[in-house]
Structure 1
């Protein structure tokens, strides 16, 4: 009886509190500039992030 009781404790997973999703920061409106568009169009070879 004691062994089964221990097994039941192990089998039943305690409900972990789910972390509340943090509100994602709204993306700031980038000023429409042609240079930025050109930078985004660079080929993947030149982009070194």
Structure 2
């Protein structure tokens, strides 16, 4: 088996937006995580 690896910098368009993109993904992940961790109403797990 042969593997090739190419190491270069990110394209300029990605490089300039990478921080904003990462922050947006983090926000989406946190929102989805909070949504899925909520206990549904009426479930026996609620105190």
Same fold (TM > 0.5): no
Q: Which bin holds the TM-score, normalised by the shorter protein?
A: 0.3 to 0.5
Q: TM-score, with normalisation over the residues of structure 2?
A: 0.33
Q: Which has the higher contact order (CA 8 A, sep 6+)?
A: 2
Which structure dedicates a bigger proportion of its chain to helix?
2
Q: Which has the larger radius of gyration?
A: 1
